[in-house]
Structure 1
């Protein structure tokens, strides 16, 4: 499992989000990202950070559809 410098264990999250639908654009694209974070709050925060850089989409005009943790079985 990946760890941070502080010793926190990082988990894998799949975060799915989109831009809120409007009258001009009733169907909006859905974006899905693989994020490594210590909890769901940080995973969602990293999603908004990266999506704002990649797609110029702000948290104020978007929504998180799903944030789920990926579990591994070895």
Structure 2
């Protein structure tokens, strides 16, 4: 019976030591640093000034091509 008490005492003594060493040899887990990536605004196919320039050119062409001159050939006969 003393052997049984000795076995129980030895088991109880080694239990905390086994738990303390559990996983002691594992590699340390190191997380990668967080990198904040700012989104880049997509560039359009045309610069911002092209469409207004085309509109202005169209209005100028419309104004130049207007036919409201007073020099008609039919009205030149006095």
Same fold at TM > 0.5: no
Report which of the two has the higher share of helix. Answer: 2
Report which of the two has the higher share of strand. Answer: 1
Q: Which has the larger radius of gyration?
A: 2
Q: TM-score, normalised by structure 1?
A: 0.23
Q: TM-score, normalised by structure 2?
A: 0.22
